[in-house]
């Protein structure tokens, strides 16, 4: 994530304000030109952080559903997006995409009536169908780990829905009207396996409850020409001023209510005009806050990568077990939204990220790196693992062999002692080593190790009995 324009102005001060100084210590001073009401200013940044997931989800929904018919990575509300191949380096709809599974996803609204999802017999193939509410919490996750691979049917109901469901249909209640089905089906990427997964995707069904068991043709989507379909969603959110941001947040909270556990924090936001169920009262937000609140709020979110106590660190890697379900850790929820929107629960996937090598130096394609796994110590998973290359904005990196991640699918070669080395560099390590090559850009980059369905017995990353090796720079 690129934060240079913010860091120059507030990096040091924000760190102090977040970790060391009390806000009351700044209450009578000046900060970024704000002369009065600094307590309210910090309160406004708290509110910004609190609402960041819901606003980002809404802007993502707008972009991904603003089409008349399903095409590529987009489909109208209530229709299933069936990605037929891995995203490439031009993909900008969602940060930190993967090249291991074919997304099978949909946005739908359960405010009017439930929606019924029918999953076909997955024939023992690894898959998971996490369902996210508007606040990015994974409220249910059918899949091979949790419910098996036999055919199954679910009705996703809204917060206030009460009724009777057809026989054989299990209820999953969503805490919000907005639901994002963010399904993933494992695929090796060969033409034969693509075809097999495509057939499974075509057997998924999503219909409103009133149409269940009947012939159903989904209506065409309505295209809103005002929706920006070119600018990455994260940039669209980050460029909003505070009034625009809080106005949208207030509107969204009317139909996507916060959790009861949020009540204590929400009561404080009334002071700046933000009240659940009501429109935003901009008169309570000082004019000199408007531009600065989003800048400082986002900077505080990104600082969590370094300072949040829930981040586990070692060998240049950082990860958290607090994904998918966040409780009142709004800063962590905001961070995951910013760098990996749609993250799973840790039992389903863990996403260690590395921005620096074994010597804590930023990765750069001018150097070569090796990540070495001793014999028998490749990432321990029941699902799959992969190492993905991203640019600093968490998007894929263009490269001559169109390889965005590396995993056992590349038929990794082992050394004579049984160890396995991954070559992370800009230029090819040579034909004899290309099976183990993860191409890097010429400039800075970020690594992510995906571990789907991590082992629950030793060794496992879940309790720290397995650790991630460092990526070491080759001298």
Evaluate if residue 22 carries a pLDDT over 60. Answer: no
**CA separation for the pair 255, 440 (Å, rounded):** 43
Which of the residue ranges 73-77, 232-236, 306-310, 382-386 would you say has the lowest mean pLDDT? 306-310
Of 72, 121, 129, 71, the closest CA to residue 105 belongs to 129
Evaluate if residue 395 carries a pLDDT over 60. Answer: yes
Q: What are the helix and strand counts (H, E) for the chain?
A: 8, 21
**Are domains 77-211 and 314-473 of this chain identical in fold?**
no
**CA separation for the pair 140, 455 (Å, rounded):** 20
Q: Are 182 and 132 spatial neighbours (Cβ–Cβ below 8 Å)? A: yes
Evaluate if residue 141 carries a pLDDT over 70. Answer: yes
Q: What local confidence, expressed as pLDDT, does residue 295 receive?
A: 95
Query: Could you tell me the pLDDT band of residue 17, with boundaries at 50, 70 and 90?
Result: very low
**CA separation for the pair 132, 400 (Å, rounded):** 36
Q: What is the mean pLDDT of residues 409-414?
A: 96
Evaluate if residue 1 carries a pLDDT over 80. Answer: no
- 229-288: per-residue pLDDT in tens? 999 899 999 999 999 999 999 999 999 999 999 999 999 999 999 999 999 999 999 888
Of 84, 322, 346, the closest CA to residue 199 belongs to 84
Q: Are 237 and 252 spatial neighbours (Cβ–Cβ below 8 Å)? A: no
Q: What is the phi/psi pair of residue 230, to 5°? A: -110, -40
Task: At 370, list the tokens.
Answer: 């090796």
- 89-103: per-residue pLDDT in tens? 998 877 788 999 999
Beta-carbon-side half-sphere exposure of residue 5 (alpha carbons within 13 Å): 6
pTM exceeds 0.85? yes
**CA separation for the pair 325, 320 (Å, rounded):** 11
* 3 state SS for 47-67: HHHHHHHHHHHHHHHHHHHCC
Q: What local confidence, expressed as pLDDT, does residue 302 receive?
A: 94
Q: What is the CATH number assigned to the segment(s) 77-211?
A: 2.60.40.1610
**CA separation for the pair 209, 216 (Å, rounded):** 11
Evaluate if residue 348 carries a pLDDT over 90. Answer: yes
Query: Could you tell me the pLDDT band of residue 36, with boundaries at 50, 70 and 90?
Result: low
**CA separation for the pair 180, 61 (Å, rounded):** 8
Q: Are 202 and 258 spatial neighbours (Cβ–Cβ below 8 Å)? A: no
**CA separation for the pair 411, 219 (Å, rounded):** 44
Task: At 470, list the tokens.
Answer: 């460092």
Q: What local confidence, expressed as pLDDT, does residue 378 receive?
A: 97
Q: What local confidence, expressed as pLDDT, does residue 10 receive?
A: 36
Of 200, 92, 113, 223, the closest CA to residue 165 belongs to 113
Evaluate if residue 303 carries a pLDDT over 60. Answer: yes
Q: Are 154 and 146 spatial neighbours (Cβ–Cβ below 8 Å)? A: no
* Structural domain spans, the chain: 4-58+233-307, 77-211, 314-473
Q: Are 174 and 110 spatial neighbours (Cβ–Cβ below 8 Å)? A: yes
459 preceded by cis ω (within 30°)? Answer: yes
> 304-343 burial by CB neighbour count: b if 16+ within 10 A, else e?
bbeebeebbeebbbbbbebbbebeebbbbbbbbbbbbbbb
Evaluate if residue 203 carries a pLDDT over 80. Answer: yes
Query: Could you tell me the pLDDT band of residue 189, with boundaries at 50, 70 and 90?
Result: very high
Q: Are 426 and 441 spatial neighbours (Cβ–Cβ below 8 Å)? A: yes
Task: At 338, list the tokens.
Answer: 């910013």
**CA separation for the pair 313, 283 (Å, rounded):** 43
Task: At 2, list the tokens.
Answer: 């690129």
Burial of 146 per CB tally in 10 Å (0-12, 13-18, 19+): middle
Tokens 């991590």 correspond to 454
SS3 450: strand
Q: What local confidence, expressed as pLDDT, does residue 35 receive?
A: 54
Beta-carbon-side half-sphere exposure of residue 396 (alpha carbons within 13 Å): 22
Sign of CA dihedral 71, 76, 81, 83: positive
- 53-72: per-residue pLDDT in tens? 999 999 999 999 999 999 98
Tokens 């720079």 correspond to 473
Query: Could you tell me the pLDDT band of residue 2, with boundaries at 50, 70 and 90?
Result: very low
Give the β-pairing of 420-425 and 437-439: parallel
DSSP designation for 126: -
Q: Are 308 and 335 spatial neighbours (Cβ–Cβ below 8 Å)? A: yes
Q: What is the mean pLDDT of residues 449-457?
A: 95
**CA separation for the pair 158, 114 (Å, rounded):** 6
> 204-228 burial by CB neighbour count: b if 16+ within 10 A, else e?
bebbbbeebeeeeebeebeeeeeee
**Mean pLDDT of all residues in the chain?**
91
Q: What is the mean pLDDT of residues 210-223?
A: 96
Is domain 314-473 classified as CATH 2.60.120.600?
yes
**CA separation for the pair 216, 236 (Å, rounded):** 35
């Amino acid at each position: 994530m690129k934060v240079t324009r913010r860091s120059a102005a507030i990096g040091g001060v924000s760190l102090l304000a977040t970790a060391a100084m009390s806000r009351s210590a700044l209450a009578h001073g000046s900060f970024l030109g704000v002369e009065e009401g600094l307590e309210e200013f910090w309160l406004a940044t708290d509110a910004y952080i609190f609402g960041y997931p819901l606003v980002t989800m809404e802007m993502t929904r707008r972009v991904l559903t603003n089409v008349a018919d399903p095409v590529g990575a987009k489909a109208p509300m209530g229709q299933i997006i069936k990605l037929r191949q891995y995203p490439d380096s031009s993909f900008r709809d969602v940060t930190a995409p993967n090249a291991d599974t074919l997304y099978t996803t949909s946005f739908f609204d359960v405010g009017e009536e439930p929606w019924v999802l029918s999953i076909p017999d997955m024939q023992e193939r690894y898959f998971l169908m996490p369902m996210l509410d508007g606040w990015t919490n994974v409220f249910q996750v059918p899949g091979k780990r949790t419910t098996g691979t036999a055919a199954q049917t679910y009705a996703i109901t809204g917060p206030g829905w009460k009724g009777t469901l057809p026989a054989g249909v299990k209820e999953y209640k969503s805490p919000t009207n907005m639901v994002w089905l963010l399904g993933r089906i494992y695929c090796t990427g060969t033409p034969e396996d693509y075809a097999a997964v495509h057939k499974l995707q075509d057997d998924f069904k999503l219909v409103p409850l009133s149409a269940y068991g009947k012939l159903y043709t989904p209506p065409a989507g309505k295209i809103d020409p005002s929706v920006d379909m070119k600018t990455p969603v994260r940039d669209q959110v980050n460029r909003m001023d505070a009034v625009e941001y809080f106005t949208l947040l207030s509107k969204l909270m009317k139909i996507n209510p916060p959790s009861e556990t949020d009540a204590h924090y929400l009561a404080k936001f009334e002071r700046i005009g933000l009240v659940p169920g009501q429109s935003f009262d901009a008169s309570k937000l000082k004019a000199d806050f408007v531009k600065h609140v989003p800048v400082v709020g986002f900077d505080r979110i990104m600082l969590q990568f370094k300072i949040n106590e829930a981040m586990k660190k070692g060998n240049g890697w950082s990860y958290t077990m607090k994904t998918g379900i966040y409780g009142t850790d709004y800063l962590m929820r905001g961070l995951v939204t910013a760098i990996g929107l749609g993250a799973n629960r840790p039992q389903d996937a863990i996403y260690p990220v590395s921005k620096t090598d074994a010597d804590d130096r930023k990765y750069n394609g001018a150097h070569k790196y090796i990540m070495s796994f001793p014999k028998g110590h490749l990432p321990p998973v029941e699902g799959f693992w992969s190492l993905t290359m991203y640019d600093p904005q968490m998007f894929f990196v263009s490269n001559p062999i169109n390889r965005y991640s590396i995993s056992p699918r590349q038929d990794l070669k082992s050394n004579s002692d049984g160890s396995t080395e991954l070559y992370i560099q800009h230029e090819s390590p040579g034909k004899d080593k290309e099976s183990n090559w993860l191409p890097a850009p010429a400039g800075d980059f970020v690594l992510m190790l995906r571990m789907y369905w991590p082992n629950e017995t030793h060794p496992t990353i879940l309790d720290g009995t397995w650790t991630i090796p460092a990526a070491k720079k080759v001298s």
